[in-house]
Amino acid sequence: MFLQIWLLPFALLATATVIAFPLSRYMAWIMDGKYRPLPVMGWFEKRLDSGPQNWKQYIGSLLLFNTVLFVFGYLVLALQPYLPLNPDGKTMLFPSTIFNSVISFMTNTNLQHYSGDQHLSNFSQIFFAIANMFLSAAIGLCALVAIIRALRSDASLGNFFLDMWRVLIYMFVPAALVFALIFLWQGSPMTFKTSHQVSTLEAGAMGTTDKGEAKQQTIVVGPVAALESIKMLGTNGGGFYGMNSAHPFENPTGLSNFFNTLAMMIFPFALVIMYGRMLGRMRHAYVIFIVMLALMAATVVWSVYFDTLKPNPGLTTHAGRTFEIAGAKSSEPKKPLTYPAVAGLPVDQHLGNLEGKEMRFGTSAGATFDALTTDVTCGAVNAEEDSINPMASLAPMAGMWINSIFGGKGVGMINMLLYVIIGIFIAGMMVGRTPEYLGKKIEAREIKLAAVALLVHPFMILAPVALFAVTHWGVDAVSNPGAHGFSQILYQFSSASANNGSAFDGLGVTYGFYNNPNPAPSAIAFDIATGLVMLFSRFLPIIAPVAMAAYLGAKKTNPAGLGTLRDDDVTFGLFLIGTILIIGALLFLPAAALGPIAEHFGPFPFGG
Amino acid sequence: MFRYLSKSVLLLVVSVAICCILYPIVLWAVGQALFPFQANGSMLSGPDGRPVGSKLIAQPFTKDEYFQPRPSAASYDASASGSSSLAASNYALRDRVARTLGPVVQYKSGPQAGQSVAPDIETWFRKDTYQGAPHIVAQWADMHNSLAQAWVASDAAHTTYVRGWAKAHPKDVQQFRKDNPAATQPKESDLAVTFFKSFSAEHPGKFPSVVTSTGKDGKPQSTIEVVNAGQDIQSTFFDMWRQDHADADIQDVPADMVTTSASGLDPHISLQNAEFQLDRVSAKWAADLKRDPAGVRSEIEQILQKNAAAPWNGVAGEPFVNVLEVNLELRTKYGEPK
């Protein structure tokens, strides 16, 4: 039992770590342009390369390309009824949902206010979803590479278009092909057909139609394997099907689940080591890597402990309790409130909480995936997040709040760089030394940029959560009573701001097709609000750090001396963890207390 | 600026050509050539050679001769996967689980060991006392307003029945309007709690239950009958019975039998769950085939063992069986269930 639970998560961490070393060497080699392209490839590179860029030109190109991508994505979705590969005649999604989805995929979030199996044609799955999955992941990686070049005081930040080409052609496409073949072999469909109609083995088990005939089962298929591999490798997370990596076609076996989970980890892991290689500061990168790995292991252990080793508390025995409720004024006497004892239901829960879990992945696979998917900002799920045990749901939430436990493609490392800068600044202030990073003085302008980039995230989560929690927008959307309803709103905006994309699925945010007579009442409000949150939380934390790195890189390097704070030893590692937990996580503690922690302390069951 | 725009468009065109045309077509060709079964959805053929479903997608089974898959929040609709999204703290989750348990659970020890709990639930229900107070149905509706309302709205026959009750009980409806001035035009479901209280007083120890029969036009027809036994009572009131009998020692049911999966299409059940269903399945086949129950049981047990697999050969999880494959084997071996 011990092995059945802990082998999978630690095998994943170990495998991703081992792969990170050779992969990071290859990535640094490609991004530094040391390879020699084949003649055909070289021809394309020459066409795309617009010459060396400074930071403003690089960011300008990045934003311009995103604008083009936005227009393209919007057109593909809006024109869905007129485009090919749509034999079922799927119509157009509601415009606010298109707005939300296009931003969501462009920003590498993949928050889905629609269900792929119900609302998208195969054309949209390929030309909208797959296209954005390749490109949005590459954009974040390019931003990190630009920052590295700025920090090492290169003559230019490189060329955005050439960088994008390199990432796509030499990293994502080959890796996606390999993983897609594994998923295909394990059972993911790869066809341009849309569905099979079958008569079930027991005729009529699906019910009967009005004419008294046995209903058939409609099985949606499509180019699932192609989407699945880049969905995970690019830490995108937007499923072909509504239920994402929990769907048997996206994730058919225990083995496919291992590779599914591994796929989202390898690039974020390798990027940290690549950062060290390209800067020539391997020890520094190792310290950061170990800090991230420790935090990741902590979230996984937390999630598995509360979700796999504990039963679903909704079904178990609870002792009766009496609470004292304080009055509105201190002069009012406290009122007692009694909850009677609850007898447990006869359910054998030795495998943990199985509500919203699949059987084939393995005992701890759901809880492990829950934590990892937000640590690396992927957002795919192989279990229903809404149904995990209350305390366990803190693990995915913390992953999104910290947003740099490896984090998304490139941006996770960028966020970590901000913590490093802020941490060094605080340490410098505490001991009375001039804070320096890589021998460059950190001054007011850099700190302002770092602080802006870091504070966007909590602001973009907490402000809209507060707004939605007190208005009918949020109240009408929640599907579970009490503290969990608050958690649903909190999770939605955390996921949007972290560019994660997983969700507590019960939240009513789906409008559906534009002519849907019964959309969720708050769908438009959530479409627009989360759309804007994703946009700001994506680009401000890319623009500000690139600017900051450019300013830092332009300064002269002071040689390290006795008075220099080391950035590659245990002290620095501990200090970094402290900075992350105090600055990154503590901001969210009050919100956590109102949501998952309150739910954990009961009473169970609540409401109904 | 214009230069960057043209480069952006070029980059988009090139990447769409590679990622959206070349990449999927290569995979499609490789998939159809090397893994045609998987690439087309792992479809299984039935005894008559026609496809009966996908190996990877759960489909429902209602007959006792077949093993049943996990309950599905998506009603086994493989074009709209979905989970229950019920939080652990939500009473709706506990209620759904309790309803599944009531008709199937058995005593574990004591004089009734091995016997079904269901008849005792009915006896207790007819006495119409919960936690020492009278009228179980009234207390149920009072404790769980949303369940009572859901009952009214869940079935057209239920709604019609409540409408009929409202006509016959104008005083109760008037009182409801007085107590709820905001509800000027109360719907049937708004009246649910008032209805059940009045019903419980008029029919102590009874519950309105739908009976389906074939009407004159040949179409199925649903009517309400007032009953004091049956599956509705066993399932709806099992949780309340449990609270009154907290000390009763009941055999645990495997969790995957009463929990919904994430996709609603989980094709597997745990081997433990299958073993739990084995008695029912084998007894039914034995009756159908007029054969010795023990012999049929051991044959089916062998089928289960043969089909059992586990994540990473058991290193990462416990054994499970594919429900459709096992049932297909039963169907091929024993023919059409009676």
pLDDT reported for residue A67: 97
Residue B70 neighbours by CB under 8 Å, 6+ apart:
A359, B58, B256, B257, B259, B260, B261, B266, B269, B273
**d(C-alpha A106, C-alpha A94), whole Å:** 18
B80 interfaces chain A, CB cutoff of 8 Å: yes
**Which of B277, B271, B266 is closest to B318 using CA atoms?**
B271
pLDDT at A324 over 90: no
- Confirm if A306 and A389 have CB atoms less than 8 A apart: yes
- Asked whether the CA dihedral B132, B135, B137, B142 is positive or negative, the reply is negative
Residue A350: CB atoms within 10 A of its CB come to: 13
pLDDT at A387 over 90: yes
Cβ contacts below 8 Å, chain A against chain B, sum to 416
Which one of A67, A173, A387 has the shortest CB-CB distance to B87?
A387
pLDDT at A340 over 90: no
Contacts of B88 in chain A (CB under 8 A): 312-314, 353, 355, 387-390, 599, 604
pLDDT reported for residue A509: 93
**Which of A401, A366, A372 is closest to A298 using CA atoms?**
A372
pLDDT reported for residue B180: 86
pLDDT reported for residue B126: 94
**d(C-alpha A229, C-alpha B113), whole Å:** 52
Cβ-in-10-Å burial (0-12, 13-18, 19+) of B264 comes to: buried
- Confirm if A228 and A250 have CB atoms less than 8 A apart: yes
How far A271 CA sits from the closest chain B CA (Å)? 22
Query: How does residue A179 score in pLDDT terms, banded at 50, 70 and 90?
Result: very high
Q: What's the rounded mean pLDDT across residues A481-488?
A: 94
Residue A323 neighbours by CB under 8 Å, 6+ apart:
A336, A337, A338, A339
How far A301 CA sits from the closest chain B CA (Å)? 16
Q: What's the rounded mean pLDDT across residues A186-211?
A: 91
- Confirm if A355 and B84 have CB atoms less than 8 A apart: yes
pLDDT reported for residue B338: 82
Residue B249 neighbours by CB under 8 Å, 6+ apart:
B107, B108, B109, B110
For residues A271 and A428, the model is more confident at: A271
**d(C-alpha A197, C-alpha A181), whole Å:** 26
**d(C-alpha B75, C-alpha A206), whole Å:** 8
- Confirm if A294 and A47 have CB atoms less than 8 A apart: no
**d(C-alpha A380, C-alpha A503), whole Å:** 9
- Confirm if B136 and B240 have CB atoms less than 8 A apart: yes
Lowest mean pLDDT among A226-240, B24-38, B159-173, B175-189: B175-189
* Window B:45-74, CB contacts with A under 8 Å: 46, 50-57, 59-63, 66, 70
- Asked whether the CA dihedral A376, A379, A380, A382 is positive or negative, the reply is positive
Query: How does residue B268 score in pLDDT terms, banded at 50, 70 and 90?
Result: very high
CA within 13 Å, CB half, A86: 21
Partners of B107 in beta bridges = B250
pLDDT reported for residue A310: 96
For B210-255, write each residue's pLDDT tens digit. 887 776 776 777 788 899 999 999 999 999 999 999 999 999 999 9
B51-54 and B43-45 strand pairing: antiparallel
pLDDT reported for residue A559: 85
- Interface touch B93/A605, C-beta < 8 Å: yes
Complete DSSP assignment for B242-298: HHHTTT--BPPEEHHHHS--SSS---EEEHHHHHHHHHHHHHHHHHHHT--HHHHHH
pLDDT reported for residue B2: 85
**d(C-alpha A37, C-alpha A39), whole Å:** 6
pLDDT reported for residue B19: 96
Residue A252, amino acid: P
Query: How does residue A7 score in pLDDT terms, banded at 50, 70 and 90?
Result: very high
For A119-168, write each residue's pLDDT tens digit. 999 999 999 999 999 999 999 999 999 999 999 999 999 999 999 999 99
**Which of A498, A477, A535, A472 is closest to A107 using CA atoms?**
A535
pLDDT at B65 over 70: yes
Torsion angle defined by CA atoms of residues B148, B150, B155 and B160, in that order, rounded to the nearest 10 degrees: 50
For chain B, the farthest-separated pair of C-alpha atoms sits apart, in whole angstroms, at 87
pLDDT at A601 over 80: yes
Residue A608, amino acid: G
**Helix (H, G, I), strand (E, B), or coil: what is residue B6?**
helix
- Confirm if A90 and A512 have CB atoms less than 8 A apart: no
- Confirm if B263 and A243 have CB atoms less than 8 A apart: yes
**d(C-alpha A405, C-alpha A299), whole Å:** 10
Lowest mean pLDDT among A69-73, A246-250, A328-332, A386-390: A328-332
Mean pLDDT over each residue of chain B, to the nearest integer: 93
Query: How does residue A92 score in pLDDT terms, banded at 50, 70 and 90?
Result: very high
Query: B236's torsion region: left (phi>0), alpha (psi -120 to 50) or beta?
Result: alpha
How far A593 CA sits from the closest chain B CA (Å)? 16
Contacts of A262 in chain B (CB under 8 A): none
Residue position matching structure tokens 């436990």: A405
- Confirm if B317 and A361 have CB atoms less than 8 A apart: yes
Residue A214 neighbours by CB under 8 Å, 6+ apart:
A199, A200, A203, A204, A205, A206, A208
Q: Write the DSSP symbol of residue B89.
A: T
pLDDT reported for residue A525: 96
For B93-145, write each residue's pLDDT tens digit. 999 999 999 999 999 998 999 999 999 999 999 999 999 999 999 999 999 99
- Confirm if A55 and A158 have CB atoms less than 8 A apart: no
pLDDT reported for residue A608: 64
pLDDT at A329 over 90: no
pTM: 0.95
pLDDT reported for residue A343: 93
- Confirm if B313 and B259 have CB atoms less than 8 A apart: no
- Confirm if A137 and A234 have CB atoms less than 8 A apart: yes
B308 interfaces chain A, CB cutoff of 8 Å: no
For A421-474, write each residue's pLDDT tens digit. 999 999 888 888 889 999 999 999 999 999 999 999 999 999 999 999 999 999
* Window B:137-196, CB contacts with A under 8 Å: 144, 146-147
